[in-house]
Amino acid sequence: MKKAAIVSLTILTFAICILPFSEAAAEVPGLINFQGKLTNSDGTLVNNGQYQLNFKLCDSVTDGT
C-alpha cells in the first residue's frame, strides 16, 4: 500500500470514530452568564442597596409564554 493511501485511510478512520462524539460536546450549557446594570426608567443608575428582582424568559416579545 502506498504511503498516501495509508494516510488517507488513517484520516478516514479518525473521522468515522471521532466526529460522532463532537456533536455531544456541543450541547447547550446549563447556565447563562449575563451581566447588566440596574437603572431607573429615565436611564440613570439606581442607588446602591438591596432590591428584589424578578426575571422572566419568554418565547416572544409580546404574548409570550
Question: How much is the mean pLDDT over the chain?
Answer: 77
Confidence of residue 61 (pLDDT cuts 50, 70, 90): confident
pTM, to two decimals? 0.34
Say what the pLDDT of residue 47 is: 92
Tell me: pLDDT of 59 over 90.
no
pLDDT class of 21 with cuts at 50, 70, 90: low
Q: Compute φ and ψ for 39, nearest 5 degrees.
A: -125, 160
SS3 labels along the chain: CCHHHHHHHHHHHHHHHHHHHHHHCCCCCCCCCCCCCCECCCCCECCCCCCCCCCCCCCCCCCCC
The pLDDT of residue 38 is: 87
